Chains A and B, each alone.
Chain A
Amino acid sequence: MATGERTWQRPTIFRTRRVKWAVYAGLLAFFAWSAVGIGFDPSRVLQGIGNTAVLIGDFLPPDATARELDRIIAKMLESVAMAMVATVTGIAVSIPIAFMAAENISPKPLYALNRGFISVSRAFNAIIVAILAVKAVGFGPLAGIITITFKTVGFFSKLLAEDIEDIDMGAVDAVRATGSSPIQTLLYGVVPQIIPRFAGLSVYRWDINIRTSTVIGIVGAGGIGSVLLTAFNRYDYQYVSAILLSIIVVVLFAEGVSAVVRRRYQ
């Protein structure tokens, strides 16, 4: 009785309760400032909903002439081909970069250099890279392949490097201890440990690349995106929805394949 009731509160990750509420208030203020700043106006949302209904009417049903259909198929194949080529070239470039960007097996300066390159690759969205690539090599799928390759390297070598950093160094030590050369040590100590992730990442990136390859045509870097842009510009909405439908089918198919393969492999 003398001690009275003891109370307990869950400790917060912020230092004190006051800091916690200050952070929440700050976040709310940031949101409010942003919404006011961009002129967020609920009445326009309501108006937009009305327009959307009309637009959906214009979009349906999807329709394309025989010639348009041929064009969709040809350009979609171009997208798929771009994605495939760029996945292979991107992974080929990524492998050495990933090894050099892994802190546990790479010397410091080389590590910093490659991490820097990866950061640059990840900083730009594919569309920005595509605009630059089109400026550099002109319209068409070559620009697309360059774009997707560049983006693949940023993604793939970062994740692969992190996997290399997570490997069991004990096995690597043991292989080194037999008197093996650095290359043999990589082949026996490192590679077997990262193979499953490598396979999974490859398929995953292929599926992302298919999605990217359907978009970058909008800025002229080849593939189905260019057809989409012309259709939009002509206000030919039924054609647009036919194209969108084809994109959905291809992307879903790629995602499905990717999901199945990754589940099998891990």
Chain B
Amino acid sequence: MLHVTNLQKTYDTGDEALRGVTTSVEGSETVAMIGPSGAGKSTFIRCVNRLTEPSGGEIDLDGTELTALDDDDLRAARRDIGMIFQEYNLIERLTVMENVLSGRLGYVSAWQAFRRSFPPADIERAYGILEQVGLDEMADKRVDELSGGQRQRVGIARAVIQEPKILLVDEPTSSLDPETSDTVMRLLTDIAADRSIPVLINIHEVNLALEHADRIVGLHDGELVFEGTPDDLDEAALDRVYRGADIPDTTTDGEGSTETDDQEVPLTTTGSTAGGV
């Protein structure tokens, strides 16, 4: 489904947020991406739909190479990617319904969008999803009247109404209390299972990841340092992810070391060729 190869991002400030990350998300699995703040989790997700422009690497979504798309094609591709954000990123002054319907903007004209005249099928979908997230009574409420948990459910509804091929979720619970966090995580995994689409969730709360994810990937300082099932995530692995313990190539992490090799080999060859010429 989603295959990311050697994804790199260096910000204008010189910050290397991603140093060549290779991973994939398949079928209808829930993948949790864990790591300390600043590890590059958000950058990774934002690079996938190019809200942040990656500096290098390939992103293949269902056979489409996203990094090569021009503006129009990128917009079409983004319709297939549902995004859910840490701070909900809703439009505060608009109603719940308008926020949810904004997930269909990729399918209507600017004039329709301005007039808020979405096709009846979209309205139907919106009500259906609002019911599923338990907000059907709230359709005409303004978003700034809602609680945090309710807002995040509006955010989820906006992503789901896109009928995406994948959900990318950036720290969905860090602004929520533990109980609401659990509900939101359960809702996300339920929806994914319901629609048999994969979900990639950035999360720094390891226990939530362990509880809800089928697979876990760990980032440390822009590099992939763990990939495996929740059961594989032992103390040593956690150390690598959170403290960057300096012995990456021991047990399960064959992948991590080959990746660094891949990265270094072409670098040195080009370097020496350039020097020779």
Which residues of A approach B to under 8 Å, CB–CB? Answer: 168, 170-171, 173-181, 183-184, 187-189, 192-193, 195-196
The residue that B110 contacts in the complex, of A173, A183, A189, with Cβ under 8 A, is A183
In angstroms, Cα B110 to Cα A233, docked, is 58
With both chains docked as a complex, state the minimum distance between the C-beta of A105 and any C-beta of chain B, in angstroms. Answer: 14
Are A171 and B89 within 8 A (Cβ)?
A: yes
Which secondary structure dominates where chain A touches chain B? helix
12 interchain pairs (CB within 8 A)? A168-B92, A170-B89, A174-B83, A174-B89, A178-B104, A178-B106, A178-B158, A180-B102, A181-B75, A187-B110, A192-B91, A196-B93
- Provide the residues of chain A in CB contact with B98, threshold 8 Å: 188
- Provide the residues of chain A in CB contact with B43, threshold 8 Å: none
- Provide the residues of chain B in CB contact with A192, threshold 8 Å: 91-94
Are A177 and B51 within 8 A (Cβ)?
A: yes
Interface size class of B (residues with CB under 8 A): 20 to 34
In angstroms, Cα B98 to Cα A184, docked, is 13
In angstroms, Cα B51 to Cα A64, docked, is 68
Residue in B75, B89, B90 whose Cβ sees the most chain A Cβ within 10 Å: B89
In angstroms, Cα B87 to Cα A177, docked, is 15
In angstroms, Cα B103 to Cα A28, docked, is 62
List which B72-118 residues lie within 8 A (CB) of chain A: 75-79, 81, 83, 85, 87, 89-94, 98, 102-106, 110, 113-114
In angstroms, Cα B164 to Cα A160, docked, is 36
B162 near A: Cβ within 8 Å? yes
Are A179 and B106 within 8 A (Cβ)?
A: yes
In angstroms, Cα B155 to Cα A178, docked, is 12
Are A184 and B85 within 8 A (Cβ)?
A: no
- Pairs A-B, 7 closest by C-beta atoms: A179-B106, A180-B105, A179-B78, A174-B89, A179-B79, A170-B89, A177-B83
In angstroms, Cα B114 to Cα A4, docked, is 73
Are B93 and A188 within 8 A (Cβ)?
A: no
With both chains docked as a complex, state the minimum distance between the C-beta of B108 and any C-beta of chain A, in angstroms. Answer: 8
B152 near A: Cβ within 8 Å? no
Known: A171-B92, A178-B162, A193-B92. A188 touches B78 (CB 8 A): no
- Provide the residues of chain A in CB contact with B102, threshold 8 Å: 174-175, 178, 180, 188
With both chains docked as a complex, state the minimum distance between the C-beta of B45 and any C-beta of chain A, in angstroms. Answer: 10
Are A177 and B78 within 8 A (Cβ)?
A: yes
List which B113-158 residues lie within 8 A (CB) of chain A: 113-114, 155, 158
Known: A170-B87, A188-B94. A180 touches B51 (CB 8 A): no
Are B83 and A181 within 8 A (Cβ)?
A: no
- Provide the residues of chain A in CB contact with B189, threshold 8 Å: none
Are A181 and B110 within 8 A (Cβ)?
A: yes
Are B75 and A180 within 8 A (Cβ)?
A: yes
